[in-house]
């Protein structure tokens, strides 16, 4: 099947949303987001039936660049994550009013278009273009519709843009160097190159700068908490739920496959950075009084563990990383939605100003509790499957990695349950907490359903991603 139809649908949706006007923009965006989800499921069914999911067309003659898209199990898993989360994110935003709503929702669909293109691109330069395109809408979403002092917000967003853009330039240089060697940007041609150990080191390092900033890994994380806090909740959901997965996906698809010797040489170092992020993020989260910042540092801890799993270069590590990417995407969107629901009622994100919500809204409290337990990897939830697999892969490399990585569960349980107690229990707040609206409840139910279904039955995702990951491992273990 020609997978470019999915990109065309999202791009047309972005324009249709903009020209629909402010009153209809949210509904038009939701229709196109749901249509893209339906098309993604259809594409998955064709892929499972054995059809080829790709598109290849000559694009630029000099340098030779192809508009090449290819869907395998790994890329389709990430496309489905994007297609599933975007409608939830849009629908959950119906409780807010946005000035210039047509631009706001059009930017969301354009960002979905760019992220989907990043996951499907099979040409290095095309991949880079989609990678950078995804940065533009989130910049404007955070800058124009963000929270707090305008000057503060501008500083945070500009730092994020410059930081991530600068890191990506190193990746572009690596692609240009490889093109000079292979005279092609196509991924299969780049995989087939015979690079020296020294060349692979520099390529690995160039990719690492781009991905470590995007994920982020410490010490490249300094932009994250501020931007998560200042961005509107929809922007934070897009960043944490999907955009950071672009970096994690790219580690597997591009970095460790093209810099395989360097990946093996520096395995302990990069795993150590991931584990350090787990510990650092968890400790800093313990000290947060702002609910969104606490969730931001919690996310930092979780993605550190995911990155550590990917860098083990084992099948279990790669599978665990992908499973946890998807699980984290759903649970972190759910948690930020909870923070937004509370903000809509109390007009504060300060944890000390909350409390007593359980007495006023027991259904909301129950859903929040489920999300908290999922985030700390309670057995039967999707996160448990991913974290257990990652920790098992770390134990195969070094038992101390698994022990230190496991602190994300211990510390995570402490600060998340402590936060839950402060926010939901205790004396009733003087402000009335109105019960959930229909769209808020439906959004949370959809997320919780996914977390439980794949927590109990992860086989469909494992069957989808395993062949692609085995192919990448074959590339990594080449001897020449």
Mean pLDDT of the 278-302 span: 90
Choose among 64, 83, 59, 62: nearest CA to 7.
83
Reported as a pLDDT band with limits 50, 70 and 90, residue 121 is very high
Please identify, among 258, 275, 310, the residue that sits at the C-terminal boundary of a domain: 258
Mean pLDDT of the 332-361 span: 89
**What's the pLDDT score for residue 429?**
64
What span, in angstroms and rounded, lies between the C-alpha atoms of 285 and 299?
Answer: 9
**What's the pLDDT score for residue 407?**
76
Model confidence at 478: pLDDT above 80:
no
Please identify, among 240, 258, 276, the residue that sits at the C-terminal boundary of a domain: 258
User: Which residues sit opposite 213 in a β-bridge?
Assistant: none
Model confidence at 49: pLDDT above 70:
yes
Please identify, among 258, 283, 311, the residue that sits at the C-terminal boundary of a domain: 258
Sign for the CA dihedral angle at 253, 259, 261, 264 comes to negative
Model confidence at 431: pLDDT above 80:
no
Q: Which residues contact 21 (CB under 8 A, 6 or more apart)?
A: 102
User: Which residues sit opposite 56 in a β-bridge?
Assistant: 68
Q: Are residues 239 and 317 in the same domain?
A: no
Q: Are residues 275 and 169 in the same domain?
A: no
Q: Are residues 352 and 326 in the same domain?
A: yes
Model confidence at 272: pLDDT above 80:
yes
What span, in angstroms and rounded, lies between the C-alpha atoms of 47 and 70?
Answer: 11
Number of domains in the chain: 2
Q: Are residues 143 and 283 in the same domain?
A: no
Q: Are residues 113 and 22 in the same domain?
A: yes
Are 170 and 214 in contact by the 8 Å Cβ rule? The answer is no
Q: Are residues 417 and 439 in the same domain?
A: yes
Model confidence at 453: pLDDT above 70:
yes
Q: Are residues 242 and 274 in the same domain?
A: no
* Average pLDDT over all residues of the chain: 91
**What's the pLDDT score for residue 406?**
82
Mean pLDDT of the 74-93 span: 96
**What's the pLDDT score for residue 348?**
86
Q: Are residues 278 and 242 in the same domain?
A: no
Mean pLDDT of the 167-174 span: 93
pLDDT tens figures, 410-420: 888 899 999 99
What span, in angstroms and rounded, lies between the C-alpha atoms of 23 and 30?
Answer: 13
pLDDT tens figures, 173-224: 999 999 998 889 999 999 998 888 899 999 999 999 999 998 888 888 888 8
**What's the pLDDT score for residue 410?**
85
Reported as a pLDDT band with limits 50, 70 and 90, residue 169 is very high
For residue 301, what are the domain limits?
266-480
Q: Are residues 284 and 345 in the same domain?
A: yes
Are 262 and 174 in contact by the 8 Å Cβ rule? The answer is no
Other C-beta atoms lying within 10 Å of the C-beta of residue 268: 12
Q: Are residues 311 and 457 in the same domain?
A: yes
Cα torsion through 310, 311, 316, 322, rounded to 10: 0
**What's the pLDDT score for residue 428?**
64
Task: Give the whole-number percent of the chain exceeding pLDDT 70.
Answer: 99
**What's the pLDDT score for residue 479?**
64
Choose among 146, 26, 46, 138: nearest CA to 87.
26
pTM of the model: 0.94
Are 104 and 51 in contact by the 8 Å Cβ rule? The answer is no
Q: Are residues 45 and 88 in the same domain?
A: yes
Reported as a pLDDT band with limits 50, 70 and 90, residue 353 is confident
Whats the size of the chain, residue-wise? 480
Sign for the CA dihedral angle at 194, 251, 202, 117 comes to positive
Q: Are residues 300 and 400 in the same domain?
A: yes
């Amino acid at each position: 099947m020609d997978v470019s139809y999915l990109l065309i649908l999202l791009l047309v949706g972005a324009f249709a949303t903009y020209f629909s006007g402010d009153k209809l923009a949210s509904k038009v965006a939701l229709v196109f987001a749901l249509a893209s989800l339906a098309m993604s499921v259809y594409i998955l069914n064709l892929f499972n039936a054995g059809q080829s999911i790709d598109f290849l067309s000559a694009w630029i003659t000099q340098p030779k660049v192809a508009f090449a898209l290819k869907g395998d199990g790994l890329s389709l898993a990430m496309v489905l994550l994007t297609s599933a989360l975007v409608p939830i994110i849009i629908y959950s935003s119906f409780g807010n009013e946005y000035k210039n709503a047509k631009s706001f929702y059009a930017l969301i669909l354009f960002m979905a278009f760019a992220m989907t293109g990043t996951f499907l691109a099979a040409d290095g330069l095309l991949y880079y273009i989609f990678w950078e395109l995804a940065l533009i809408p989130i910049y404007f979403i955070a800058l124009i519709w963000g929270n707090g002092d305008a000057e503060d917000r501008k500083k945070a967003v500009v730092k994020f843009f410059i930081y991530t853009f600068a890191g990506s330039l190193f990746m572009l240089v690596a692609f240009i160097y490889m093109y000079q060697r292979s005279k092609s940007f196509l991924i299969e041609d780049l995989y087939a190159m015979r690079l020296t150990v020294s060349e692979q080191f520099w390529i690995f390092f160039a990719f690492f700068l781009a991905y470590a900033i995007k994920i982020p890994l410490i010490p490249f994380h300094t932009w994250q908490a501020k931007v998560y806090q200042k961005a509107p909740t929809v922007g934070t959901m897009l960043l944490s739920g999907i955009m950071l997965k672009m970096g994690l996906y790219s580690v597997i698809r591009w970095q460790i496959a093209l810099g395989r010797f360097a990946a093996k040489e520096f395995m302990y170092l990069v795993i150590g950075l991931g584990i350090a992020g787990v510990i650092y993020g968890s400790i800093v989260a313990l000290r947060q009084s702002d609910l969104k910042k606490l969730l931001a540092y919690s996310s930092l801890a979780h993605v550190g563990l995911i990155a550590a799993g990917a860098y083990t270069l084992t099948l279990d590590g790669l599978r665990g990383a992908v499973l946890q990417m998807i699980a984290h995407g759903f649970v972190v969107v759910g948690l930020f939605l909870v923070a937004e629901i509370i903000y809509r009622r109390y007009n504060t994100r300060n944890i000390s100003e909350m409390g007593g919500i359980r007495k006023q809204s027991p259904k909301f409290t129950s859903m929040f509790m489920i999300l908290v337990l999922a985030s700390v990897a309670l057995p039967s939830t999707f996160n448990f499957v991913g974290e257990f697999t990652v920790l098992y892969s770390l134990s195969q490399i070094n038992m101390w990695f698994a022990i230190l990585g496991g602190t994300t569960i211990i510390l995570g349980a402490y600060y998340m349950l402590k936060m839950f107690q402060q926010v939901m229990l205790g004396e009733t707040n003087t402000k009335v907490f109105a019960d959930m609206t229909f769209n808020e409840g439906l959004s949370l139910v959809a997320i919780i359903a996914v977390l439980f279904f794949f927590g109990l039955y992860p086989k469909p995702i494992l069957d989808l991603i395993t062949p692609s990951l085995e192919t990448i491992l074959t590339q990594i273990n080449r001897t020449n």
